[in-house]
Amino acid sequence: MRVSFKPVIASLVLLAIGGGIGVAVSRQQLLLKEQAATPDQATESTPLLITTDDPNLTPTTEPQRSNFIAAAVERVGPAVVRIDASRTVATGVPDALQNPFFRRFFSEGTEPPSERIERGTGSGFVLSQDGRIITNAHVVEGADVVDVTLKDGRTFEGKVLGVDALTDVAVIQIQADDRLPTAPIGSAETLIPGQWAIAIGNPLGLDNTVTVGIVSAIGRSSAQVGISDKRVQFIQTDAAINPGNSGGPLLNDRGEVIGINTAIRANAQGLGFAIPIETAIRVATQISTSGSAEHPFLGIQMLDLSPDVKAELNASKNIPFQIERDSGVFIMQVLPDSPAAAGGLEAGDIIQKIGQTPIKSAADVQAQVENSSIGDPLTIEVLRNQQVLSLQIQPGRFPAQDTP
């Protein structure tokens, strides 16, 4: 029996031609499978098998090391939910179409619809193991049906316990057979710009989406954000927040919830806003207890003073005196029969302190009043006609209608 040398010669030729490759993979092993061959089979090629133990060429099966973002998401992710809400809204059929003359052009059963169904998707997260979920008020406000989907795929019908339009906070209750995963709560009071911010939610219908950025600013007033009807000092972040993120958690680098993602400015690029978690928890607790939230109310219209504002006010004929201060909070109007009127505040007063806290802006006043209690005296120091006065004001309950 003869052994063919042609495969060996062919291999040597390949090594000579690919000498550069041979040097680069010097650790390769060439396994030649010998087999008996007849003279007629000597022309057939012998299989050439190439293997390598070079770690740069061998796929690894070792698990990837987690970073702090992945660890935070792993900690909170199971508690983040998708909320699908639907509501019935009137279509606003024009009055002209209600006229019998026009209605006769519609056959029976094809009359113009008087209402339609609107559907939307938002986010939320589990506050307690018994199924209380917190989200934005605008996600579920007016909803007839709310479906809550957990990360593990389970879906529940949720009952809206209450909404608070002033802070854009709502609470949903679902009934689950077992204890649900909850999101660990952190604090927004010690935040400083530049810290990490991680957002989790369901933007554009893409469930369990994670984005990351930093805390861009804190204490943004509702007027600065462009939603002046709210009473919130917002956290600003550049973590991407898109439609569907509303109600989802904003996390710190330890995987603790520091806020609820909420407002998006249509004309902004890379800006998102979140409700501080302390505000959200306080409101959610009231909603869970009584079905609604109560907010302290003074009944004043305010304006931040600046040199330009002072000059404009002094030049107007609406102010019967000259303003000397370049800064502070100027009371433009005191509403009749309001707590402010009962306590002696007057238009033209400049607020300097509330309690022991110096006041620099209308946002400071709003924050101090929001943190007070209805009916408990609030000491307000004002400058009136160059005299400092200390007044005791008892905040009332914020009226149902939109009142400043």
Structural domains in the chain (count): 3
46 with 83, same domain: the answer is: no
Asked if the structure places residue 356 within a domain, the reply is yes
331 with 372, same domain: the answer is: yes
Query: At residue 397, does pLDDT exceed 70?
Result: yes
**What is residue 211's predicted lDDT score, i.e. its pLDDT?**
94
308 with 365, same domain: the answer is: yes
When pLDDT is cut at 50, 70 and 90, the band that residue 88 belongs to is: confident
Q: Which of 40-54, 88-102, 307-321 reaches the highest mean pLDDT? A: 307-321
Asked if the structure places residue 185 within a domain, the reply is no
**What is residue 229's predicted lDDT score, i.e. its pLDDT?**
79
Asked if the structure places residue 287 within a domain, the reply is no
Asked if the structure places residue 231 within a domain, the reply is no
**CATH code for the domain of 348:** 2.30.42.10
- Which of 4, 84, 123, 138 does the annotation list as catalytic? 138
Residue 246 annotated as catalytic:
yes
Query: At residue 205, does pLDDT exceed 90?
Result: no
Asked if the structure places residue 369 within a domain, the reply is yes
- Which of 168, 216, 361, 364 does the annotation list as catalytic? 168
77 with 163, same domain: the answer is: yes
- Digit-coded pLDDT (tens) for 340-396: 999 999 998 999 999 999 999 988 998 899 889 899 999 999 999 889 999 999 999
Mean pLDDT of the chain: 81
- Digit-coded pLDDT (tens) for 138-172: 999 888 779 999 999 999 999 999 999 999 999 99
Q: Which domain holds residue 122?
A: 70-173
- Which of 4, 123, 222, 246 does the annotation list as catalytic? 246
Asked if the structure places residue 352 within a domain, the reply is yes
Of 156, 173, 190, which marks where a domain is finished?
Answer: 173
Which amino acid is located at 62 in the chain?
A: E
Averaged over 33-47, what is the pLDDT?
A: 48
Asked if the structure places residue 263 within a domain, the reply is no
Cβ–Cβ contacts within 10 Å for residue 292, how many? 12
328 with 385, same domain: the answer is: yes
88 with 146, same domain: the answer is: yes
93 with 148, same domain: the answer is: yes
Asked if the structure places residue 65 within a domain, the reply is no
74 with 169, same domain: the answer is: yes
When pLDDT is cut at 50, 70 and 90, the band that residue 187 belongs to is: very high
pTM over cut 0.85: no
**What is residue 117's predicted lDDT score, i.e. its pLDDT?**
74
Of 127, 149, 173, which marks where a domain is finished?
Answer: 173
